[in-house]
Copies of this chain bind each other. A is one copy, B any other.
Amino acid sequence: MSAPYPPSLTALIEEFEKMPGIGHKSAVRLAFHVMNVPEEKARRFAEAIMTARESVKLCGCCQNLTDTEVCPICSDPRRDRSLICVVESPKDLAAMEKTREYNGLYHVLHGCLSPIDGVGPDDIKIKELMPRLTGEVAEVIMATNPTVEGEATAMYLSRLIKPMGIKTTRIAHGIPVGGDIEFADEMTLARAMEGRREI
Contacts and interface: CB of A to CB of B under 8 A. Distances in A.
A1 interface: yes
Nearest to A59: B6
Interface stretch (A35-43, A142-150, A151-159, A178-186): A35-43
A56 B6 contact: yes
Given A29-B20, A29-B21, A93 B53 contact: no
User: In the complex this chain forms, how many copies of it are found?
Assistant: 2
A44 B14 CA distance: 11
Contact of A67 (B6, B26, B56, B98): B6
A42 to B, nearest CB: 5
Contact of A53 (B15, B18, B42): B42
A195 interface: no
Interface string A65-79: 111100111001000
B44 A9 contact: no
Nearest to A76: B2
Contact of A52 (B34, B41, B55): B34
Interface in A78-107: 90-91, 93-94, 97-98, 100
Contact of A97 (B1, B41, B47): B1
18 contacts: A2-B76, A4-B90, A4-B93, A4-B98, A8-B51, A8-B56, A11-B48, A12-B51, A14-B48, A15-B48, A19-B30, A20-B30, A21-B26, A28-B91, A32-B90, A35-B52, A42-B53, A49-B49
10 nearest interchain CB pairs?
A4-B94, A6-B67, A12-B52, A2-B72, A46-B49, A46-B46, A15-B48, A8-B52, A12-B48, A8-B55
